[in-house]
Amino acid sequence: MKPMERVVILGGGSAGWMAAAMLARMLGPSLVITLVESEQIGTVGVGEAAIPPLQLFNQALGLSEAEFMSATAASIKLGIQFEGWGGAGERYMHAFGQVGKDLGLTPFHHYWLQAGEETERFWDYSLNEQAARAGRVLLPSPPQGKMLGGLVHAYHFDAHRYAQTLRRYSERLGVRRVAGEVVRVPLCPDSGQIQALELADGQRIEGELFIDCSGFAGRLIEQALGSGFEDWGHWLPCDRAWAVPCEGAESIAPYTRSIAREAGWQWQIPLQHRIGNGLVFSSRFQDEQSAKESLLANLPGKPLAEPKLLRFRTGRRRQPWLRNCVALGLASGFLEPLESTSIHLVQSGIMRLLKLFPNHGPMDSLAAEYNRQSQREFEQVRDFLILHYHLNRRDEPLWQHCRSMSLPDSLSHKLVLFAEQGRVLRDSDELFTEVAWVQVMLGQGLRPQQAHPLAAALSPAERRDYLGHLRTIVMGTLQGMPSHRAFLQRYCPQAKE
Ligand SMILES: Cc1cc2nc3c(=O)[nH]c(=O)nc-3n(C[C@H](O)[C@H](O)[C@H](O)COP(=O)(O)OP(=O)(O)OC[C@H]3O[C@@H](n4cnc5c(N)ncnc54)[C@H](O)[C@@H]3O)c2cc1C
């Protein structure tokens, strides 16, 4: 069996450079890696909010947190605040990390449910939510908060600067970058595998494995190989977004805002030097012009550019690994940015590829396993996103439609189990934790009919003591934290570009 010698990556967006950096780091000098990108086509230019596992990706690259945050003008993200999803004036947070503390086998939310009216809001037991609302951050967390797992954080960051940082990193490790547009993709007549990428200027780049990071176009996986696309637009109806940066404010919120609007939702992502904004909407329920006006009328600061329109389809590539081509990023499918999962899906696709990395030779069984795992992951994230839309309590036509639409069986089962019994069913390797599901379901008004019987093992007095003790820890931990901006200035002030 010959080892793999040449890998060719098409695309220099976040997905392409993340893949180049990690492959170069892990597979090192044994592999010749070439990345092709077209400056004329450019990148999608959005994607600025992450979830906590990105820390692991950077650690695996040996990129320190302060270095990453400084290079990308990043801020800390402790969760996502959903505003107006449960109806006008309502808001709740999907905060990262724990809420309260489980006792033995019984998740915390059952004790909270047992306590009924006599206790505080569910989120008053979340260190992340309380710190986010107070605008405070300290890493590592003050030691008092250890019992509650400390603050769990992700980032808001400038995705363009991240790609540039990873480009420099990859080039230092020997990745060759070729600028130019791929115009032809010859296939082997026997195996149907990709032989090479042919560029407009006549260059031909050969390889044994091709990684398609060409964005929505899926230049290799779809246009050359015809993988097919499973469309989930009937469950996730948004198919457009306007995006525009605006001036930042003195105080930097350590959370993303997701504000429900007439036919979609608006994001606000605060970085050190500006705020990223966008309106994700459904073209079936709102036209492009009125969506643009709605975004511009609701910016938290002066716009810094012309709004950019993005059109997309929600769904997944049927075979993200087909023959000798693996698609990552937008080329592999897209789930809208409601829970900031796309860059994470790039990361987990790269890690999965590394685990299943082929020799030069037959790779169909590896591809089948890759596709099975990636389908499950996409479906799990899809269900979590649909949950937000389905449990809304708004009146506009899009929202009424989402309340009455039929759901995937996997999600219906989860909802019934929670509504009737307060239990959350999930696979052990699912991205979203039990308490993430609980927060969205409670936050959007689904309160279980009963709690777990084990929660009744605490007498009312013991339960009061326990909940009171947890509140004292949360409040004590907050006392020791500086403001988010003060923390950023000390830890990772943005680097000059
Ligand atoms: C509205 C919106 C909001 C988003 N928000 C978030 C978020 O908050 N968090 C998150 O994690 N993700 C978010 N995403 C997703 C995120 O932007 C992408 O997952 C991420 O940027 C990766 O994009 P990419 O590298 O796959 O594609 P792109 O950035 O589109 O890059 C494609 C690359 O391929 C090259 N290319 C294409 N065709 C050719 C060709 N023929 N020849 C040569 N080169 C070619 C292009 O030049 C470019 O370099 C969002 C996406 C959208 C649409």
Which CATH number fits the domain that encloses residue 39? 3.50.50.60
**Residues 135 and 166 occupy one common structural domain:** no
User: What proportion of the chain, given as a percentage, has pLDDT over 70?
Assistant: 100
**Residues 345 and 452 occupy one common structural domain:** no
Atom of ligand 1 nearest to the CA of 267: 8
Atom of ligand 1 nearest to the CA of 46: 17
**Residues 129 and 174 occupy one common structural domain:** no
**Whole-angstrom distance, CA of residue 392 vs CA of residue 394:** 6
**Residues 108 and 228 occupy one common structural domain:** no
**Residues 142 and 163 occupy one common structural domain:** no
Q: Which residues of the chain have pLDDT under 70?
A: none
Output the pLDDT for position 117.
84
Q: In a mutational test of the pocket of ligand 1, which residue from 8, 9, 14 has the highest number of ligand atoms less than 8 Å from its CB?
A: 14
Output the pLDDT for position 488.
98
**Residues 200 and 325 occupy one common structural domain:** yes
CB hemisphere CA count around 373 (13 angstroms): 17
104 located within any domain:
yes
175 located within any domain:
yes
**Whole-angstrom distance, CA of residue 98 vs CA of residue 436:** 9
Residue 205 structure tokens: 């780049």
| DSSP code, position 445 | T
Collapsing DSSP states into helix, strand and coil, what is residue 354? helix
Could you tell me if the CB of 35 is within 6 A of ligand 1?
Answer: no
Tally the domains of the chain.
2
Output the pLDDT for position 365.
97
374 located within any domain:
yes
**Residues 137 and 183 occupy one common structural domain:** no
User: Is residue 182 a known part of a binding site?
Assistant: yes
pLDDT in tens, 215-257: 999 999 999 999 999 999 999 999 999 999 999 999 999 999 9
124 located within any domain:
yes
**Residues 24 and 141 occupy one common structural domain:** no
**Residues 146 and 162 occupy one common structural domain:** no
Residue 269 structure tokens: 């992502």
User: Is residue 14 a known part of a binding site?
Assistant: yes
**Residues 122 and 139 occupy one common structural domain:** yes
Atom of ligand 1 nearest to the CA of 17: 25
**Residues 228 and 326 occupy one common structural domain:** yes
Nearest CA to ligand 1 atom 27: 215
Output the pLDDT for position 439.
98
Output the pLDDT for position 88.
86
Long-range contacts of 286-292 (CB under 8 A, 24+ apart): 286/262, 286/398, 288/240, 288/242, 291/240, 291/242, 291/263, 291/264, 292/242
Nearest CA to ligand 1 atom 16: 47
Output phi, psi for 21, to 5 deg.
Answer: -65, -45
**Whole-angstrom distance, CA of residue 65 vs CA of residue 281:** 34
Could you tell me if the CB of 340 is within 6 A of ligand 1?
Answer: yes
Domain of 436, in residue numbers: 97-152+408-478
Could you tell me if the CB of 99 is within 6 A of ligand 1?
Answer: no
